[in-house]
């Protein structure tokens, strides 16, 4: 089993990274899982759900391997059948992947052959170690030399295990050339002319010294959410986007075409619909890219096309309301850069979509390869098929970062701090109360000037003089239109969590 997995991974790394049979099976499990299972996995394991899935699969495969051995104590036939069935599952999973070509079958077939050959080979050695005549009748001096042959068996197994692990690791390390391509894009962005620059981030835009996040999130700390077990390893040079469907002029864009258009930079706070009240699935970056509204106007959106249906290279899909993207000033873009560098592979290299004010699952397609103008009646995006909402504007929310839950702080002046957001219009006020007392306006951090400041989060802080004992701080955000966020508690599913956050802490 190890040999099959290792060879599958190595050959996939050499041919097409997305064809590793082990990961393809994992992807298929994710795709076919019923909603209750995916929600259970996400709420139980959070962002560790992928390692848990892969670990679980490894355990199952090891058990199947043990069974294959046990049913083959005498003849190799039954075990070979078990290995073949598992190998064919790998082939099937690769065939069922959203993007397949003939080359994708090389790795699972190599894995199948490696699995069968290793099993047959080790089986022979094992029977010989037991002093049994090999089934093909060659040699076979029963009885004598059992110890030596056992050593040969252990040695063979160890050799196969080490070679498999090395092959598996090698496959993971072999890239599809994405890293070089990324460096090239970063260099090109450094020299590119940007026609729309975001307002500078003013001093005092965050209260990081009090426990809030920094105003801009470094790309490597940016929250990450996707269904990909293996981050697609794409090259900008191979990338193209088809913009088609209900448009007057179908467009086909290469990466060079995209970079030859006017480039804009926009500072945007992205939020995940799965973020619970108090959660950390929210981050802010300066995105470089091409204005999406302009692109759509150029293609000519036809009447009735209420959905922009986007697909990633790994087959994930999202449906974005066309009217939102076409709002002047909304600022939706096809992003190629993040904080002055090419997108990280995890965040969608080479091209992703970003729409201020919409949760990522209906707008932020990474590894974008296809954009179809259609209707919501005709096509349903990945999470819409799984019980999440069709329309999903980001809800006005806030979070308390300090004090932390059940933290113990010294008596006297206690400073509470946190973040608030209401993309795309922004925050006008954050109110804070202690122990159910009167609401007080918190001090807001300075915000980048101009109308686009509403696309990003805002930090708040407030001081209280507190006596020793247990205390509860609670907050609520007010958007730029004066609307206070709802007190109603809602779970993330189907369209985002809501409610006023509260934190219990101790003054001692």
Ligand X SMILES: Nc1nc2c(c(=O)[nH]1)N[C@H]1C(S)=C(S)[C@@H](COP(=O)(O)O)O[C@H]1N2
Residues of this chain that bind ligand X (CB under 6 A): 222-228, 270, 272, 312, 314, 316, 347, 360-361, 364-367
Q: Which residue is nearest to Mo ion (CB)?
A: 272
DSSP letters spanning 234-259:
--GGG-EEEEEESBSS-EEEEHHHHH
DSSP letters spanning 134-179:
PTT-S----STTHHHHHHHHHHHHHHHHHHHHHHHHHHHH---SHH
Considering the complex, state which of residue 23 and residue 281 has its C-beta at the smaller distance from Mo ion: 281
Q: Which stretch binds Mo ion (CB under 5 A): 37-45, 161-169, 184-192, 217-225?
A: 217-225
Least distance (Å) between residue 97 CB and Mo ion: 22
Q: Which stretch binds Mo ion (CB under 5 A): 214-222, 265-273, 412-420, 460-468?
A: 265-273
Given strand 408-409, what is the order of strands in its sheet?
Answer: 408-409, 502-507, 469-479, 427-434, 440-441
Q: How far apart are CA 371 and CA 251, in angstroms?
A: 10
Rg, Å, the chain Cα set: 28
Considering the complex, state which of residue 42 and residue 261 has its C-beta at the smaller distance from Mo ion: 42
Tokens 């003939």 belong to 102
Q: How many residues does the chain have?
A: 508
Q: Which contiguous run of DSSP H or E holds residue 430?
A: strand 427-434
Considering the complex, state which of residue 210 and residue 225 has its C-beta at the smaller distance from ligand X: 225
Q: Which stretch binds Mo ion (CB under 5 A): 68-76, 190-198, 219-227, 499-507?
A: 219-227
Instruction: Select the binding partner of residue 364 from Mo ion, ligand X, none (C-beta < 5 to 8 A, by kind).
Output: ligand X
Considering the complex, state which of residue 165 and residue 389 has its C-beta at the smaller distance from ligand X: 389
Q: Judge whether 254 and 236 are in contact, CB under 8 Å.
A: no
CA-based nearest residue to 358, from 378, 336, 341, 383: 383
Considering the complex, state which of residue 189 and residue 272 has its C-beta at the smaller distance from ligand X: 272
CA-based nearest residue to 111, from 148, 69, 67, 164: 164
Residue 329 Rama label (left phi>0; alpha psi -120 to 50; beta): left
Q: How many residues lie near Mo ion (CB under 5 A)?
A: 5
Instruction: Select the binding partner of residue 399 from Mo ion, ligand X, none (C-beta < 5 to 8 A, by kind).
Output: none
Binding status of residue 368 toward Mo ion by CB under 5 A: no
Q: Which residue is nearest to ligand X (CB)?
A: 360
Task: Please give the structure tokens belonging to residue 79.
Answer: 């075990």
Among the listed residues 360, 453, 496, 499, the single contact to Mo ion using CB under 5 A: 360
Considering the complex, state which of residue 315 and residue 403 has its C-beta at the smaller distance from ligand X: 315
Instruction: Select the binding partner of residue 316 from Mo ion, ligand X, none (C-beta < 5 to 8 A, by kind).
Output: ligand X
CA dihedral sign of residues 87, 91, 96, 100: positive
Least distance (Å) between residue 465 CB and ligand X: 39
Q: Which stretch binds Mo ion (CB under 5 A): 209-217, 246-254, 283-291, 356-364?
A: 356-364
Among the listed residues 88, 97, 225, 444, the single contact to Mo ion using CB under 5 A: 225
Least distance (Å) between residue 364 CB and Mo ion: 8
Least distance (Å) between residue 8 CB and ligand X: 23
Instruction: Select the binding partner of residue 291 from ligand X, Mo ion, none (C-beta < 5 to 8 A, by kind).
Output: none
CA-based nearest residue to 205, from 444, 430, 427, 476: 444
Binding status of residue 272 toward Mo ion by CB under 5 A: yes
Q: In a 3-state reduction of DSSP, which class is residue 190?
A: helix
Least distance (Å) between residue 488 CB and Mo ion: 21
Instruction: Select the binding partner of residue 224 from Mo ion, ligand X, none (C-beta < 5 to 8 A, by kind).
Output: ligand X
Least distance (Å) between residue 359 CB and ligand X: 6
DSSP letters spanning 321-361:
EHHHHHSTT---EEEEEETTEEPPGGGTTT-EEE-TTB-GG
Instruction: Select the binding partner of residue 439 from ligand X, Mo ion, none (C-beta < 5 to 8 A, by kind).
Output: none
For Mo ion, the binding residues in 386-405 under the rule CB under 5 A are: none
Task: Please give the structure tokens belonging to residue 245.
Answer: 């469907």
Q: Judge whether 341 and 350 are in contact, CB under 8 Å.
A: no
Considering the complex, state which of residue 228 and residue 462 has its C-beta at the smaller distance from Mo ion: 228
Q: How far apart are CA 246 and CA 180, in angstroms?
A: 36
Least distance (Å) between residue 54 CB and ligand X: 17
Residues binding Mo ion (CB under 5 A):
225, 272-273, 360-361
């Amino acid at each position: 089993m190890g040999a099959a997995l290792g060879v599958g991974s190595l050959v996939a790394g050499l041919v097409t990274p997305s064809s590793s049979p082990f990961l393809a099976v994992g992807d298929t499990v994710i795709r076919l899982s019923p909603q209750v299972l995916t929600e259970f996995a996400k709420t139980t394991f959070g962002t560790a759900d992928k390692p848990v899935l892969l670990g679980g699969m490894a355990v199952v495969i090891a058990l199947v391997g043990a069974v294959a051995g046990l049913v083959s104590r005498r003849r190799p036939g039954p075990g070979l059948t078990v290995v073949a069935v598992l190998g064919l599952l790998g082939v099937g999973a690769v065939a069922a992947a959203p993007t397949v070509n003939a080359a994708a079958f090389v790795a699972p077939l190599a894995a199948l052959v490696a699995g069968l050959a290793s099993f047959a080979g080790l089986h022979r050695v094992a029977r010989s170690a037991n002093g049994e005549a090999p089934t093909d009748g060659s040699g076979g001096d029963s009885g004598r030399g059992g110890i030596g042959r056992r050593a040969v068996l252990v040695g063979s197994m160890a050799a196969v295990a080490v070679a498999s692990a090395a092959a598996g690791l090698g496959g993971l390390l072999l890239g599809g050339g994405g890293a070089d391509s990324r460096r090239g894009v970063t260099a090109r962005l450094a020299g590119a002319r940007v026609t729309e620059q975001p307002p500078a981030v003013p001093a005092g835009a965050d209260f990081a010294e009090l426990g809030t996040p920094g105003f801009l999130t470094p790309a490597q700390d940016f929250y990450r959410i996707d269904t990909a077990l293996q981050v697609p390893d794409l090259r900008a040079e191979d990338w193209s986007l088809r913009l088609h469907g209900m448009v007057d002029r179908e467009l086909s864009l290469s990466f060079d075409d995209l970079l030859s258009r006017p480039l804009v930079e926009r500072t945007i706070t992205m939020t995940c619909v799965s973020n619970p009240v108090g959660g950390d699935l929210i981050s802010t970056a300066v995105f470089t890219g091409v204005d999406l509204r302009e692109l759509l106007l150029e293609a000519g959106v036809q009447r009735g096309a209420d959905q922009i249906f986007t697909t990633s290279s790994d087959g994930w899909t999202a449906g974005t309301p066309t009217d939102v993207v076409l709002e002047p000033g909304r600022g939706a873009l096809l992003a190629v850069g993040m904080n002055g560098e090419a997108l990280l592979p995890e965040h969608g290299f080479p091209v992703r979509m970003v729409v201020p004010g919409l949760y990522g699952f209906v707008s932020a397609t990474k590894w974008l390869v296809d954009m179809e103008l259609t209707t919501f009646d005709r096509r349903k995006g990945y999470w819409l098929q799984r019980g999440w909402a069709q329309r999903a504007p980001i809800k006005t929310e806030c979070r308390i970062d300090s004090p932390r839950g059940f933290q113990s702080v010294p008596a006297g002046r206690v400073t509470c701090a946190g973040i608030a957001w209401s993309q795309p219009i922004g925050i006008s006020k954050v109110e804070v109360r202690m122990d159910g007392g009167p609401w007080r306006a918190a001090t807001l951090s300075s915000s980048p000037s101009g109308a686009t400041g509403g696309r990003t989060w805002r930090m708040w802080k407030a001081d209280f003089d507190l006596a020793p004992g247990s205390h509860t701080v609670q907050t609520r955000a007010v958007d730029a239109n004066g609307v206070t966020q709802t007190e109603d508690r809602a779970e993330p599913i189907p369209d985002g969590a809501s409610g006023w956050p509260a934190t219990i802490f101790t003054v001692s």
